[in-house]
Amino acid sequence: MTYLQALILGIIQGITEFLPISSSGHLVIAPFLLGWELPEEQIFPFDVLVQFSTLFALLIYYRRDIIQIVKKMISGIKTKNPFGTVEAKVGWLTLLATIPAGLIGLLLKEVISDAFTNPRLAAASLLFTAILLFFSEKFGKKNRDIDQLNWKDAIAMGGAQALAVFPGISRSGSTISGGLGRNLHRKTAGQFAFLMAIPIMAAAGFLSLFDLLKMTDIDGFFGIMAVGFFTAGIVGFFSIKWLLKYINNHSLVPFALYCALVGIGTLAISFYSTHTSVPVADIANEETAIIVSFQSPAGWLVPAMNICSEQTEQETAILLKNTDSNTIPDDASVHLSYGELLESAQYVYQIGSDQIVFAAGMDSPLVEIPFTSVENIFSGKGTNFQDLAAACPECELNDDANIMINTWGYPAGSTLQLFVDRIFSNRNAYSGYIAPTPVHMDQILKKDPASIGYLPLKYMDEQLKIISPANEAEADLSIPILASAHQAPNKRIQEWLSCLQREIKN
């Protein structure tokens, strides 16, 4: 990510967080439409910080109201009349309205996380936002003020806010629509929508911040994040001020039309680009760029790919495409994957190898375990650590508590799952939990001491430990890293692949 990209995304976040057009949807769609291949490891920390920035803007704008609300709530508790003032009632209703979104966010965290990389889903969600805005504007009577708020309004608007956990469904748009559906005045709906956004934005932000603090490879990214942070906060502050003034006397229909146009346009572009791929022969002979597709498990190769693009005889630009398809995209010059020979590949080169290791977090009771016991666990024969200790005298555990063992694998048919299926050819069908990618597996194992899974060795760090010892079976856990292509790579691609092979070995 460049400073210019951070500036543009900060402006987009600042404007769209509070206008009823979905900031999360725009942060997914904008890079797609602009053709930006942003590094996956930078997207998460950037999104966390710009969200915090707009939260600070909201707190600054409503600082006097928040202080007054808190004072009246405390005073109401002391006088045993918690709803005695409008401010106190608004405070309690704000907390009530937060519950639905909080529950949905916790229950669907993994699903929501995956949605943030899907521009088509974000575009479809924008269309849903457009429908909400249009019908709430047309059918709401808009005749109730803030002193008439009640618990039914809070539940309705809180339920509407829960929809906004998905990118493309606007938080402000859905909550304001919920208020209009309850016949609140536009200004009242807008004020309460922003107030009830504060707890949920703070909770989501702090949860994400804990994940951010665990990341160890963002030191060189602080300058770019700072640009996005300050830009989003400044723009967001003025966006709040403008919107509250606007909705007092203006319809929300223009926002509905905007969401509809962006949603339809993005869907059209995404489907058109899918069906109009550039012929591989044209790309392979290009002197300016290499289009590289790669499966998620090979994502750790991205830094090495960028290094090699600078070390070729003439600096080579590369365009990256993350795809978990079992076929090489038509427009790809070369496709990188773990150990799977693709039927569509005419040319296949082994550019390196990795080791699959069975792993757990540092807080796991497991210390050492033979390979055969690992197989038993993934076959469902070991259900908790106490049973494992009894059945495996040679296993070393630092805790024999009766804790269930959570086994994690990958989606059926994926490269790593097929590889481990072949290793455990005699076991029953895998019935544990599913981690979409090694990145998700890494996060799960670090958080849950009861979990056990497997990763390419390149994903291991000091927060994870290998739970199977070195033994004769480990030789079978080597998995090749393959580069596949539709046709013979030209000299420039061959040079780039040779560099990548050296980087893998190093």
Domain ranges within the chain, ordered by starting residue:
3-271, 278-506
**Neighbour-count burial for 75-85, b at 16+ CB within 10 Å, e otherwise:** ebeeeeebbeb
pLDDT at 381: 60
184 DSSP β-pair partners: 144
Kindly state the tokens that stand for 500.
Answer: 């990548």
Total Cβ atoms within 10 A of residue 166: 22
Q: Give CA–CA dist 495/177, Å, rounded.
A: 56
Block means of pLDDT (10 residues each) for the chain, length 506 residues?
83 84 76 70 70 86 88 87 84 85 62 55 82 83 80 86 76 84 84 84 71 54 79 89 83 86 81 46 48 84 83 68 75 82 72 86 80 74 70 71 77 79 64 80 86 88 78 65 83 84 83
Q: Give CA–CA dist 26/184, Å, rounded.
A: 28
Q: Which CATH class is domain 278-506?
A: alpha beta
Question: In this structure, is the dihedral angle defined by the CA atoms of residues 316, 2, 277 and 497, taken in order, positive or negative?
Answer: positive
pLDDT at 315: 58
Radius of gyration of the chain (CA): 26
Kindly state the tokens that stand for 446.
Answer: 């670090």
